[in-house]
Amino acid sequence: MALNTRTNDRFTGTLPRTDAETASEAIPDDATLCVSGFGSVGYPKAVPLALAASGRDLELTIVSAGSAGDEIDTELVEADAIERRYSFVSRNAIRTAINEGDVAFSDRNVSSVGDEVQYGRLADPDVAVVEAVAVGEDWFVPSTSIGQTAAFVEAADRLIVEVNHAQPLELRDLHDVYRLGKPPEREPIPLTDPDERIGSPRIEFDPDKLEAVVESDRRDTPYSFRDPTAADRTIASNFVDFLREEVERSPVFDERITLQFGVGSLGNALMGELTELSSSDRDLVYYGEVVQDGLLDMLDDDLLSSASATSLALSEEGQQQLFDGIERYAEDMVLRPGDVSNSPALVDRFGVIAVNSAVEIDLYGNVNSTHVKGSRLINGIGGSGDFNRNAVLSICALPSTLSDGDISRIVPKTFHVDHTEHDVDIFVTEHGVADIRGCSPLERAELIIEQCADPSYRDDLREYLEAAAESSGHVPIDPKRAADW
């Protein structure tokens, strides 16, 4: 690799610049790679593509804090190059490989992945491959996400930095990189307000780790949001009606309403219904893990005071909207490492209202967020566990049915549980709201049937509950009948 000195805004100092193919050749066949990226943005593109095209017999372990794009989770999978994957996926190719047993997969909470790599030996990384908008001899500026990139870089033996010319240099104005100390001497995160900045735009590293600097010019794979359905809009209306009453009732929300939404089309629809809450005398703030298109619109309309996240999970139109007005957005938007954006202590400190969705829920309030029929993986738990378990109010919003009503998403018993009956307070569907706080298991079941289940399934659910209740026990279950669903 030839050493080159380049002095402009993206490159500073003497750097080991090379092409992606040459950089990829230095990666061992069985390497553990930690990659930047979260919400399918900010991930490396050129080096993974070079690995996929290399024709080598690769058995890679890939670690990311969130979902990555096709260059990693499609191209490398189709090249049969991935043996093990952590800790969130969303692409069809990697999902299929996991479900068929070709790739070993372990699902992890976003807030803990960095610590698990650094201290818990989840994986022992050989190389960190990261995307940046600028790089120096001992620092780089991340691109459209931060995730656990800083922790990965600290843990890895070597570092490859991709500088992406398709990402605007002004992204540096969004970043606030704060590193947590090492346990057991770790101090509290000194963040007292969601829009406060306590760190730096840069991620620093040991200069001896820098193996290669590669240039790329390839946009992130954009997020795809569908148009809101009639059910989405009704769910959003029910959600806002409930929230309006809740914020008036609870003194926690006297001055500020702090919200988190899971990424997706339903989350965007929910944001679109917040105009009335935004016009109250309370500040409306977002403290979550992803910035979606709906948040940009709320900032544009002065409905949102600030937005804090770790990733910019935007559609193609949303990406362009952000890049065209990035100086304006940087005044009210900040990106942080995932162990800060998803910190249980900060979720609690800021009184976050967490709003996430699910594949299905059962009558007793258990939530399946990740698997179809209890078995087939469709994504990962992501940050929903971080927020559901630590929010001042945890809400699960979902349509009551799938496949034009042929499948109920309210079931007697879910056979895969990501969030237990202790983690979620409120369920919202297009049919109503079930507030299960303080309810016994039977009371929870009755509320969920009457308020959330589709009317066409209520009689069957009531029949199941009556049959199960004939047995003794605190949580009545009829395993055979539940399996029939």
Rounded to the nearest integer, the mean pLDDT of the chain is 94
Q: With H, G, I as helix, E, B as strand and everything else as coil, classify residue 354.
A: strand
Indicate the residue type of 159. L
Asked if the structure places residue 222 within a domain, the reply is no
Asked if the structure places residue 225 within a domain, the reply is no
Asked if the structure places residue 235 within a domain, the reply is yes
| Same domain, yes or no: 275 and 387 | yes
Pick the more confident residue, 277 or 287.
287
| Same domain, yes or no: 325 and 209 | no
| Same domain, yes or no: 211 and 240 | no
| Same domain, yes or no: 364 and 433 | yes
What's 130's domain CATH number?
A: 3.40.1080.10
CA distance 287 to 259: 6
| Same domain, yes or no: 212 and 238 | no
Which candidate in 71, 75, 273, 289 is catalytic? Answer: 289
How many other C-beta atoms can be found within 10 angstroms of the C-beta atom of residue 341?
A: 28
Residue 138: both structure tokens together? 């001992």
Q: Which residue has the tokens 């659910």?
A: 461
- The boundaries of the domain holding residue 398 are 230-484
Q: Of 216, 243, 278, which residue sits at a domain end?
A: 216
- Checking if the pLDDT of 228 tops 70, the result is yes
Q: For residue 222, what pLDDT band results from cuts at 50, 70 and 90?
A: confident
CA distance 410 to 430: 12
Active site residue 187: no
pLDDT tens track for 424-450: 999 999 999 999 999 999 999 999 999
CA distance 9 to 12: 7
Q: Of 154, 185, 216, which residue sits at a domain end?
A: 216
| Same domain, yes or no: 43 and 162 | yes
| Same domain, yes or no: 323 and 206 | no
| Same domain, yes or no: 280 and 369 | yes
Asked if the structure places residue 223 within a domain, the reply is no
Q: For residue 1, what pLDDT band results from cuts at 50, 70 and 90?
A: very low
Asked if the structure places residue 418 within a domain, the reply is yes
| Same domain, yes or no: 330 and 363 | yes
Residues paired with residue 214 on neighbouring β-strands, in sequence order? 162
Asked if the structure places residue 153 within a domain, the reply is yes
Q: What percent of the chain stands above pLDDT 70?
A: 97
| Same domain, yes or no: 205 and 275 | no
Q: Of 216, 249, 266, which residue sits at a domain end?
A: 216
Asked if the structure places residue 326 within a domain, the reply is yes
- Checking if the pLDDT of 3 tops 50, the result is no
- Whether the CB-CB separation of 242 and 433 falls below 8 Å is answered with yes
Number of folded domains that form the chain: 2
Q: 473: buried, middle or exposed (CB in 10 Å: 19+, 13-18, 0-12)?
A: exposed
Mean pLDDT of 132-156: 98
- Which residues fall within 8 angstroms of residue 187, CB to CB, at 6 or more apart? 181
b/e sequence 139-154, b meaning 16+ C-beta within 10 Å: bbbbbbbbbbbbbbbb
| Same domain, yes or no: 170 and 248 | no
Q: Which residue has the tokens 């398709």?
A: 166
Mean pLDDT of 247-275: 86
- Checking if the pLDDT of 188 tops 50, the result is yes
CA distance 271 to 438: 28
| Same domain, yes or no: 152 and 83 | yes
